[in-house]
Amino acid sequence: MNKKLIGGGIAAVVVLVAAVWFLFFRSDAPEAVDVDSANEQLDADLAAAAEEGDDDAAADAAAAFDGDVDGEWIVDDEIGDFDFETASGSFAGFRVDEELTIGEVVAVGRSGGVTGAVTIAGGQLTAADITVDMTTIVSNDSRREGAIRGAVGASTNPTATFVLTEPVNLPDGIRDGEAVTVDAVGDLTVNGVTNSTSFSITALVRDDGFGIITGSTNIVFADFDVTAPSAPIVVSVDDNGIVEFQLVVAKG
């Protein structure tokens, strides 16, 4: 066979594989949660709401905030509606490494169905009770979504929760609009299974009355009776992954 034909055939296969990867299996995973990025996105969300004449939530948040961080802060569902692509609004989910037959990707699943509140009193985070609707998980690859919901038992255990079990001392900087990072220990329940879990969280209180809280932790899926879904294209999935959340809150 002509060597040019062989070389051309190999090149065509390489191009085809690259095209398949780009169109169907590239990760396009959003970045991990980050309080600075969330703060910038909230600015954009507030600007868009003001332009549309829909800034009631911003006015309510400002009116409820007197500069004192003590009090109950409720997850806001009016500003920054959850958007997977822009990481807008409040959400919770996971990220895990997958190895496919043609490369590695980061699988990300997130739900914007987050409710709950956190309480600050006397320089401490004294309470946190967050609920996530697992039936509304979306992914950076929509073909994963049904398998993800099945893996976390969303049909029988439609919500995941985190409840703080130990008070957390907050650095003084939180009263001055600085981002502060602390560890928060609580009961994490996924798929009906509860384990004590420590999250690294970063919190920021803005002068317009909104607060932003991001957090993450690494979990072993088997600890929550979660089995990573498989498919013919999937060679392996890590047995552990990162649970993460981003909360936009306002004083109640």
- Confidence band for 99, pLDDT divided at 50, 70 and 90: low
pLDDT for 230: 55
For the cut 70, the answer to whether the pLDDT of residue 62 exceeds it is: yes
Rounded CA gap, 208 and 64, in Å? 10
Find which of 74-78, 104-108, 140-144, 226-230 is predicted with most confidence, using mean pLDDT: 74-78
User: Can you give the pTM of this predicted structure?
Assistant: 0.84
Rounded CA gap, 118 and 251, in Å? 9
Type and span of the H or E element at 183? strand 180-190
- Is the Cα dihedral 14, 18, 20, 25 positive or negative? positive
For the cut 50, the answer to whether the pLDDT of residue 23 exceeds it is: no
Q: Read off the pLDDT of residues 147-183 as tens digits, 9 standing for 90 and up.
A: 778 888 889 999 999 999 999 999 999 999 999 999 9
